[in-house]
Structure 1
Amino acid sequence: MGLFERFRKGLEKSRAAMADRLLTVFRGRRLDDSVFEEMEETLILSDVGVDTAVELVEAIRKEARKRHIERAEDLPEVMADVMAEFLGPPVEMAENPEGPTVVLVVGVNGAGKTTTIGKLAHAYKSQGKRVILAAADTFRAAAIDQLLIWGERVGVDVVRQAQGADPAAVVYDAIQAAKARRCDLVICDTAGRLQNKSHLMNELSKIRKVAERELPGAPHEVLLVIDGTTGQNGLVQARVFKEVVQVTGIVVTKLDGTAKGGIVFPIVREEKIPVKWIGLGEGMDDLQPFDPRMFAEAICRPESRV
């Protein structure tokens, strides 16, 4: 399956909520204010959010006028172009040229953090990179066990300590192991207990200090994992985690199981955090680097227009 087809298949439900619904709105109509009003309503129902939907529709209206579009059925191409520009160019993962790259993965429990880490490890190992995982969510024994299972499945080492151990000590051990074994990447799991924000802030702050001390510039990436099925609640999580830690990128998971893919737009617009990976299915290869153009095309072009 080609990459674009993978995006289309994984975003099938979001496309049905947006493009396929709009196709019935557009069919046989001339372009007028009522079309844009219904477009705005559809975007809001697709979890784009009110402010972002208003901004997108205004940009689409201006572009349609510039292209002298008269038929509503010609709007999907304009929508895809405007949305792709709105999301900006792809933002690649940072790399440390002078040693292991350290990636912290944060997010609430249940968002798909551990699965994301396993799939990230697989993606990098498939590129010939040497990867090591750090089980720094020491609050939950299940989190350590899950990471061990993923490590075995992918074929990478997992550095761990006992449940209740200091998470920063686990990250320290993982960085030392990565240096000794000449690994390219250290991916660190972390706790996601937002109920106690100050404790989580202190924990992540300590992890950052330890990583920075052992490797100048580390952590090189802080990825926030958001469950795509939670819709607007994902935006709230992005705001809270931004207060707790310096998030450099978003991973939106489980998009294949939801019609709420529109949440990507307000995250980028309102929180100014790039989306770097999206989960398009349950398979090992279904975590894909985020491509704004492919994403926009996949949710804007109705099934019958491909």
Structure 2
Amino acid sequence: MLLLLLFAALNSATKNNVKKSTISCDGLVFQQVYYDRHLIMKDLGRPYNLMMHKYSGTLFFSETIRNNSDIDFEIKACDLNKKKPECHVVKGVPGGYAIAYDAGNDDVYFGGHSGIYKYDFIKKEAQFFSEKGKSIWGLFVRRNFYYIEYPSQTLHVYHRDAFVKVAEAINIEVDIFFKSKMGEVYFSNKTALYKVEKLTRYPIVLSDSISVRQIADDTFGDVYICATDGVYLEEKPYLRVKKIADIQDAYGLTFDERDYVIYSDKTSVYKLLPSNKSKICSDDYMVLDEDENVTDNARDLLIS
């Protein structure tokens, strides 16, 4: 009986190895579901601040470039409707880094070394909008228009025909700012990731152990945190975050018109697509664990 148990375990492990050799499970598990990973573009320089304009199929992002001997930034717009994405550098934004979308008016804004700019989809270039001479680190538009000034990392909001400092954040450095569809505020700095609930208006630490690079939401309003080691989701009502995807050196995250995940690492941009290998690849990992346990148990019984 013991020999039969050992044979069954080894036979199952052999089948599992055959399955591994014939099917490539090189996608990504995102929120407990296996997806195929489609490479959109590569050979990039740290693609930050991904933003998908769903109506035109245009992906905007900021890329690190070398300007003579200095490191600088530029904003690229890529048409993903093409079989091979067609990209161009957005002209008119020196040091283009920040990107924001005003869904209410279907407008796209950029921030750079010398202010805020608005994108012209027809001319495919940007025109000056506001805050001349100010270096813009971050932009966000939802109900109100916000920006983060560099290097002070102070948060400003548009109020009564002018941008003013946000009173509640005057003494707080802000690296990333995000406001959910429910009106909840998320922001991060070098210290931690915080949440300000609509009713309490007091910042709560969600995590002080992750380094945030972007915050985004999907069509349903779920808020996703892209950190250096992967993607996190708020675990309600516990006021903490849980990792839902392992991504080495992640830089940005957005969603397309079908709510498919688009993310970037240090050099490339990918899209996660539903996989017909999802069950096989998921079972592969699960069966392997079970087989290892059965083999160990059979070995223990045989030895004893």
> TM-score normalised to the size of structure 1?
0.28
Q: Give the helix-richer structure, 1 or 2.
A: 1
Structure index of larger Rg:
2
With a CA cutoff of 8 Å and minimum separation of 6, indicate the structure with the bigger relative contact order: 1
Q: Give the strand-richer structure, 1 or 2.
A: 2
